[in-house]
Amino acid sequence: MKPQPAADKTSSRQLPTWLGWLSRSGQRPSHWLNWRDPQVRALVFQALFVVGVGALLADIVANTLANMESRGISTGFGFLSSEAGFGILQTLIPYSETSSFGRTFVVGLLNTLLVSVLGIALATLLGFVIGIARLSTNWLLARLASVYIEVFRNIPLLLQIFFWYFAVLQALPSPRDSLSLGEAVFLNLRGLYLPRPLPEAGFDWVMAALALGILASIALRVWSRRRQARTGQLFPLLPAALGLIVGLPTLVFVLAGAPLGWELPVLRGFNFRGGITMIPELAALLLALSIYTAAFIAEIVRAGIQSVDGGQTEAAEALGLRHGQILRLIVIPQALRVIIPPLTSQYLNLLKNSSLATAIGYPDLVNVFAGTTLNQTGQAVEVIAMTMAVYLTISLLISLFMNWYNARSALNAR
Amino acid sequence: MFQRKFTQGCAACLAFASLCLGPLTAVAGDTLDAVKKRGFVQCGVNTGLPGFSNADDQGEWTGLDVDFCRAVAAAVLGDAQKVQFTPLTAKERLTALQSGEIDVLSRNTTWTLTRDTSLGINFTGVSYYDGQGFMVTKALGIKSAKELDGAAVCILAGTTTELNLADYFRTNGMEYEPVVFDTADQTARGFEAGRCDVLTSDQSQLYGVRLKLKEADKAEILPEVISKEPLGPAVRQGDDDWFNIVRWTLFAMVNAEEFGVTAANVDEMKKSTTNPEVRRLLGLEGIKGKGLGLKDDWAYQIVKQVGNYGEVFARTVGSGSPLGIPRGLNALWRDGGLQYAPPIR
Q: Which of A59, A190, A367 sits opposite B152 (nearest CB)?
A: A190
Question: Does the distance separating the beta carbons of A86 and B178 come in below 8 Å?
Answer: yes
Q: Report the percent of chain A where pLDDT is more than 90.
A: 41
Closest approach of B15 to chain A, Cα-based (Å)? 11
Residue A38 has its nearest CB partner, among B3, B90, B182, at B3
Over range A158-164, report the average pLDDT: 93
Number of H helices and E strands in chain B, helices first, is 13, 14
Residue A283 has pLDDT above 80, yes or no: yes
pLDDT, mean over chain B: 87
H or E element: which one contains B268?
helix B266-272
Q: What is this model's ipTM?
A: 0.74
Query: Would you state the pLDDT for residue A31?
Result: 56
Give CA separation, B272 vs A71, A83, B19, B45, B302, in Å: 46, 59, 59, 38, 19
> CA A286 to CA A88: how far, in whole Å?
19
* pLDDT (mean) for A254-277: 82
Residues A186-235: tens digit of each pLDDT: 888 888 888 888 888 778 888 899 999 999 999 999 999 899 888 888 78
Residues 136-175 of chain B with CB under 8 A from chain A are 140, 148-152, 157-159, 162-163, 165-167, 169-170, 175
Determine contact: B92 vs chain A, CB below 8 A.
no
Q: Quote the CA–CA distance of A352 and A387 in Å, as a whole number.
A: 11
Mean pLDDT of chain A: 86
User: What is residue B118's predicted lDDT score, i.e. its pLDDT?
Assistant: 84
d(CA A122, CA A109): 20
Question: What does the pLDDT read at residue B4?
Answer: 45
Alpha helices in B103-159 (DSSP H): 113-118
Taking CA atoms, B69 is separated from A116, B41, B76, in Å, by 44, 8, 11
What are the 10-residue block averages of pLDDT along chain B, 345 residues in total? 44 42 48 94 91 89 95 96 92 87 94 89 95 90 88 85 90 90 84 89 86 84 90 93 96 96 94 92 90 93 96 94 90 95 93
What is the tens place of the pLDDT at every residue in A7-34? Answer: 444 444 455 555 545 544 445 555 566 7
Q: What is the pLDDT of residue A177?
A: 82
Which 170-229 residues of chain A touch chain B by CB within 8 A? 170, 174, 189-190
Residue A31 per-residue DSSP state: G
Question: What pLDDT does A9 receive?
Answer: 45
Give CA torsion, residues B26, B29, B32, B35, to 10 deg: -10
Strand partners, B176: B151
Predicted confidence at residue A142, as pLDDT, reads 94
Contact A375 B90 (CB under 8 A): yes
CA-CA distance, B208 to B199, in Å (whole number)? 12
Please tell me chain B's helix, strand, coil percentages from 3-state DSSP, rounded to the nearest 5: 45, 20, 40
| Tens-digit pLDDT profile for residues A316-346 | 999 998 888 888 888 888 898 889 889 999 9
pLDDT grade for A272, boundaries at 50, 70 and 90: confident
Phi, psi (deg, nearest 5) at residue B72: -60, -45
Task: Please tell me whether residue B339 adopts helix, strand or coil conformation.
Answer: strand
- Give which of B122, B180, B235 to mutate to test A binding, by max A Cβ within 10 Å: B180
SS3 content of chain A, % helix, strand, coil (to 5): 65, 5, 25
Query: What are the backbone dihedrals phi and psi of residue B98, each rounded to the nearest 5 degrees, phi first?
Result: -55, -40
Nearest to A271 among B169, B177, B181 (CB): B177
pLDDT band, very low/low/confident/very high, at A411 (cuts 50, 70, 90): low
Q: Which residues of B touch A72 (CB under 8 A)?
A: 119-120, 237-238
Residue pLDDT, tens place only, B282-331: 999 988 898 899 999 999 999 999 999 999 999 999 999 988 888 999 99
Question: A45: number of CA atoms within 13 Å, CB side?
Answer: 21
Tell me if B236 and A48 make a contact (CB, 8 A cut-off): no
| Sign of the dihedral through C-alpha A130, A131, A132, A134 | positive
What is residue A155's predicted lDDT score, i.e. its pLDDT? 95
CA distance A395 to B242: 45
Give the pLDDT confidence score for residue A17 in this predicted structure: 53
SS3 of residue B152 by DSSP: strand
Helix (H, G, I), strand (E, B) or coil at B156: strand
Is residue A155 helix, strand or coil? coil
Classify the C-alpha dihedral A5-A10-A16-A22 as positive or negative.
negative
Give pLDDT tens digits for A221-252.
Answer: 999 989 988 888 878 888 888 888 888 888 88
- DSSP string covering B35-71: HHHHTSEEEEEESSBTTTBEE-TTS-EESHHHHHHHH
Provide the whole-model pTM: 0.78
Q: How confident is the model at residue A412 (pLDDT cuts 50, 70, 90)?
A: low
| Pair B32, B245: CB distance under 8 Å | yes
Q: Residue A86 and residue B95: Cβ atoms within 8 Å?
A: no
